[in-house]
């Protein structure tokens, strides 16, 4: 073990760096890099430029890559080309933040004891800066790895230019493995790492049966009603009460969770009560914790997001609309193939209602990570070193497009070392991060790099 790698030594390193950590976090949180808002484009660029100068101040070489949208930042702490290279992925763009629910100004960094408030503190600027401090420690102690940083500024808008940019510069971004720090534990009591992400396939169902609104007294009974027909079609696709998809073959490629995965789920700290509270649900389809976790992380869905058409105003206006649209999507899990699902849905709809036009959009396959092997063991060891408990491997119900791009283009395995907690308010008002997660995170990253150095993967 390189010298200086006891938990106590890392704690004292973090303590010594705390003021510097907070000042860096303050600077970056106060740059409102809201990628979705065109008027924030200069701010988002300013965040990228600040990130380049920050990396350089840590002794890294750093470069800004232009894209059709917001830039990508790449930094390198290179030790020796014969050592393995690990790339830490984070994003420095943030969700919009406004509204009366914010108790402090969202783009003002506020410190309340160990808590740091502000948009981006937990998603994902706090974890990004934490990883940088952990890397700095490992690098100073001459751990035999090259540590690279890949900081995106378009994650919150679905990474539209990420894959083309890393593909065009694949040599610069080459790496032996990737570690992503942009995920949330299930509870503070136990570290959790996702080992899989759900994918997505969106659809629009459109039905036109006439040209204009018609009076239901004059034409009703004979006229086709496109809203009613779409509702009937949707009810044939999915059982509204249970959520069970009724399209034949829909589930045939779903990989069942392993025994170990189910055991991890039982230990992860998830409770139905907190889940309901966090999401303001009055009731759920099921009340068993394991069943809820399976449904949100390991099973596919068929959801109707919106139904448009007809009269939406006050009172009852007795028209028969000429046209209706349903916006639908399926969350996908390993090994479902989006193209196969598109074909299944299109064929099913064609049989049931040939006049309905189906268009597919927004395709993203699911991601299946590894929970065994040397990298997963290194994640386990580093989390235990830092937080005193081995992590559970769970799944994420959502999707991170960049993960699939990195696996595809860089041909490297991707692992997750997230630091955020449910109470940090991802994407919510009063977003926050805290010092215990930052301090533990620095230790976890430093120790992870040390473990990679011992793997001799090159
Ligand atoms: Zn994020």
Cα gap 14→134, rounded to integer Å = 9
How much is the pLDDT for 1? Answer: 62
Distance between Cα 36 and ligand 1 center (Å): 14
Across the chain, which has 458 residues, the per-10-residue mean pLDDT values are 86 98 98 97 98 98 98 97 97 93 96 98 98 98 97 94 96 97 92 92 97 96 98 98 98 93 91 89 96 95 96 95 97 95 98 98 89 95 97 88 93 96 89 98 98 80
Distance between Cα 10 and ligand 1 center (Å): 26
How much is the pLDDT for 279? Answer: 82
Distance between Cα 416 and ligand 1 center (Å): 12
How much is the pLDDT for 363? Answer: 87
Cα gap 31→55, rounded to integer Å = 17
How much is the pLDDT for 456? Answer: 66
SS3 354: coil
Distance between Cα 265 and ligand 1 center (Å): 22
Strand order in the sheet with 146-152: 61-65, 72-77, 146-152, 85-91, 177-180, 414-416
Check: pTM over 0.75? Answer yes or no.
yes
Protein residues with C-beta less than 5 angstroms from the ion ligand 1: 123-124, 182
3-state secondary structure 235-294: HHHECCCCCCECCCCCCCCCCCCCHHHHHHHHHCCCCHHHHHHHHCCCCCCCCCHHHHHH
Distance between Cα 395 and ligand 1 center (Å): 15
SS3 416: strand
Distance between Cα 431 and ligand 1 center (Å): 12
Distance between Cα 124 and ligand 1 center (Å): 5
How much is the pLDDT for 458? Answer: 53
How much is the pLDDT for 179? Answer: 98
Classify residue 430 by its DSSP letter: T
DSSP of 56-93: HHTT-EEEEE--SSS-EEEEEE---TTS-EEEEEEE--
The answer to whether the CB of 443 falls within 8 A of the CB of 451 is no
Distance between Cα 209 and ligand 1 center (Å): 43
Tokens 């503070």 locate to: 188
Distance between Cα 184 and ligand 1 center (Å): 9
Half-sphere exposure of 119 (CA within 13 A, CB side): 24
How much is the pLDDT for 226? Answer: 98
Q: What tokens appear for 72 in the block?
A: 């990508």
Cα gap 445→440, rounded to integer Å = 9
3-state secondary structure the chain: CCCCCCHHHHHHHHHHHHHHHHHHHHHHHCCCCECCCHHHHHHHHHHHHHHHHHHHHCCCEEEEECCCCCCEEEEEECCCCCCCEEEEEEECCECCCCCCCCCCCCCCCEEECCEEECCCHHHHHHHHHHHHHHHHHHHHCCCCCEEEEEEECCHHHCCCCHHHHHHHCHHHHCCCEEEECCCECCECCECEEEEEECEEEEEEEEEECCCCCEEHHHHCCCCCCHHHHHHHHHHHHECCCCCCECCCCCCCCCCCCCHHHHHHHHHCCCCHHHHHHHHCCCCCCCCCHHHHHHHHHHCCCCEEEEEECCCCCCCCCCEECCEEEEEEEEEECCCCCHHHHHHHHHHHHHHHCCCCEEEEEEEECCEECCCCCHHHHHHHHHHHHHHCCCCEEEEECCCCHHHHHHHHHHCCCEEECCCECHHHCCCCCCCEEEHHHHHHHHHHHHHHHHHHHHHCCC
């Amino acid at each position: 073990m390189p010298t200086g790698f006891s938990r106590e030594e890392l704690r004292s390193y973090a303590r010594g760096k705390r003021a510097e950590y907070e000042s860096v976090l303050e600077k970056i949180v106060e740059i409102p890099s809201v990628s979705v808002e065109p008027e924030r484009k200069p701010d988002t660029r300013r965040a990228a430029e600040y990130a380049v100068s920050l990396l350089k101040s840590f002794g890294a070489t750093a470069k800004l890559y232009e894209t059709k949208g917001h830039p990508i930042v790449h930094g390198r702490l290179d030790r020796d080309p014969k050592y393995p290279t690990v790339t830490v992925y984070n994003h420095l763009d943030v969700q919009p933040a406004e509204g009366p629910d914010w108790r402090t100004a969202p783009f003002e960094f506020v410190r309340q004891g160990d808590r740091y408030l502000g948009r981006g503190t937990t998603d994902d600027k706090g974890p990004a800066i934490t990883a940088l401090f952990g890397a700095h420690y490992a690098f100073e102690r001459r751990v035999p790895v090259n540590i690279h940083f890949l900081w995106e500024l378009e994650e919150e808008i679905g990474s539209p230019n990420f894959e083309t940019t890393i593909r065009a510069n694949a040599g610069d971004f080459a790496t032996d493995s990737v570690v992503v720090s942009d995920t949330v534990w299930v509870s503070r009591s136990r570290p959790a790492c996702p080992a899989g992400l759900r994918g997505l396939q969106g659809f629009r169902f459109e039905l036109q049966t006439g040209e204009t609104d018609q009076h239901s007294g004059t034409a009703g009974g004979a006229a086709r009603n496109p809203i009613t027909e779409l509702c009937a079609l949707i009810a044939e696709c999915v059982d509204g009460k249970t959520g069970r998809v009724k399209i034949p073959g829909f589930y045939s490629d779903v990989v069942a969770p392993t025994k170990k995965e189910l055991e991890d789920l039982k230990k992860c700290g998830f409770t139905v009560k907190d889940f309901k509270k966090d999401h303001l649900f009055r009731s759920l389809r099921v009340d068993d914790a394991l069943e809820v976790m399976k449904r949100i992380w390991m099973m596919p869905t068929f959801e109707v997001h919106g139904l448009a058409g007809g009269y939406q105003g006050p009172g009852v206006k007795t028209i028969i609309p000429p046209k209706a649209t349903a916006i639908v999507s399926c969350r996908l899990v390993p090994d479902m193939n989006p193209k196969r699902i598109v074909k299944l849905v299109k064929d099913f709809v064609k049989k049931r209602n040939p006049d309905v036009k189906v268009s597919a959009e927004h395709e993203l396959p699911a991601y299946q990570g590894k929970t065994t092997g040397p990298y997963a063991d290194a994640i386990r060891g580093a989390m235990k070193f830092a937080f005193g408990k081995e992590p559970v491997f769970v799944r994420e119900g959502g999707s991170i497009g960049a993960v699939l791009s990195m696996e595809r283009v860089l041909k490297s395995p991707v692992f997750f070392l997230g630091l955020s907690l449910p109470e940090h308010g991802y994407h919510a008002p009063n977003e926050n991060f805290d010092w215990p997660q930052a301090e533990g995170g620095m230790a976890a990253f430093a120790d992870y790099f040390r473990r990679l150095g011992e793997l001799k993967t090159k």
